[in-house]
Amino acid sequence: MSQFSYKDGVLHAEGASLTAIAEQFGTPTYVYSKAALLSNFAAYADACAGRDALVCYAMKANSNLAILDLLARQGAGFDIVSGGELLRVLAAGGDPGKVIFSGVGKSVDEMRLALSHDILCFNVESIPELHRLNEVAGSMGKKARISLRVNPNVDAKTHPYIATGLKANKFGVAFDDALDTYRTAAKLPHLDVSGIDCHIGSQLLDDAPLLEALDRLIELIDQLGAEGIELHHLDMGGGIGIDYRDADDAAPVPVGTYLGRVFARIDAWRAERHNGKPIKVIFEPGRSIVGDTGVLLTKVEFLKHGEEKNFCIVDAAMNDMARPALYQAWMDMQPVVQGSAAAAEFDVVGPICESGDWLARDRSLAVAAGDLLVMHTAGAYGMTMASNYNTRGRAAEVIVDGDTVHLVRQREKPEDLYALESVIK
């Protein structure tokens, strides 16, 4: 059940009126539901109950400290892609022993930071990275636990910008090169070969490509085992999508269904070919944990009627929510207060000086200047992709817990944006 619903004609987040939130905190503001967040994580945790499994939240989706803290308290691990994200995990009280470090361009300083906190594993994505990590670990007198991110060349059938598992993508080690790369890794003295990882893309509504990738990983694990390279964990990555459109459109596979199929496939493999040897399973969900937990609350500044288009100009913009401009993403828009005004068709646009600054196109909306709108399913890849283009401060963020509203990130002021700059004297 959605935690965002109308009560007496006013949209609420749990028990809090979005009108009241706008009055207290201004707009644009990201509003998250604590109940929705915990429910989404519980879907993964419940499906993993009784298994040797770990859910590592992919924090690039939303890295607010309050969200990380809430998930850490539920036992979540974290999938990071930078040293800065590791510092966020630590600041939020997360366990570095449950951290997976992904990404194609890890620096020496980032490797040192991660090794100094004894993270669970590095997902290595190239042979040069293997050698760099081996050298860094050796200089610190440590051994780095690693898995290889294997690119299985599986078509995720998603937007090309968020597909990551094809030969043409920058991510991972090519499947045909993986066996030799593992042989190289096993010979390096300061590496501990621990697992295998893949991530084929994001916003996947069908789990068939993920299960195809799993079959390819299992094939490789068997080949490695035959050579005496035993792996201790299998990391399936993330990618399960969420429902951005109406209920009539294709719905994503339920989390429990997908995880159940993964575990069934692994159980059958272990019984048939792996002699029952246990292997830990890791998942790296991001969007499916936070995507539908949040909305972007914005105010209508003007209605502009043109010869070919009507424009609903709001105070949120592409710097607040980049997904529509970047991916042509469709996200639902609704007025906060249900009224009796006649609906008209609008493009919802922001005040940034770019024609690409749009949030929604060709939407039927009954709104007037001064009204409030929300953009739904804005909890993932909203604030983490936000910028300060046009010297616009990033939005405030609040989390609603029942009828209590917590400010978890203050709105940026213009002076905050140039505080680190200086003039030449």
In this structure, the strands spanning 396-401 and 404-409 are antiparallel
270 is in an annotated binding site: no
Q: What angle (nearest 5°) sits at the alpha carbon of residue 115, between those of residues 112 and 116?
A: 85
**Residue 96, amino acid:** P
145 is in an annotated binding site: no
239 is in an annotated binding site: yes
> CA 425 to CA 328: how far, in whole Å?
45
- C-beta of residue 32 within 8 angstroms of C-beta of residue 380: no
Catalytic-residue membership of 353: yes
339 is in an annotated binding site: no
Q: Which of 48, 121, 198, 353 is catalytic?
A: 353
421 is in an annotated binding site: no
Per the listing, tokens 């609040």 go with 398
What does each C-alpha distance from 15 to 20, 35, 333, 402 come to in angstroms? 11, 11, 20, 5
- C-beta of residue 358 within 8 angstroms of C-beta of residue 324: yes
363 is in an annotated binding site: no
Distance of CA 339 to the CA centre of its chain: 35
- For 176, the token pair is 């045909």
> CA 57 to CA 69: how far, in whole Å?
12
> How many angstroms separate the first and last alpha carbons of the chain?
59
User: Per this entry, what is the length of the chain?
Assistant: 425
- C-beta of residue 124 within 8 angstroms of C-beta of residue 146: yes
381 is in an annotated binding site: yes
28 is in an annotated binding site: no
For the chain, what percentages of helix, strand and coil (3-state, to nearest 5) are there?
A: 35, 25, 40
> CA 322 to CA 358: how far, in whole Å?
9
Strand order in the sheet with 16-17: 4-7, 10-13, 16-17
132 is in an annotated binding site: no
- C-beta of residue 287 within 8 angstroms of C-beta of residue 202: yes
Binding site for pyridoxal 5'-phosphate, by residue number, is: 239, 284-287, 381
Q: List, by residue number, the catalytic residues.
A: 353
Binding site for substrate, by residue number, is: 287, 323, 327, 354, 381
Binding site, by residue number, is: 239, 284-287, 323, 327, 354, 381
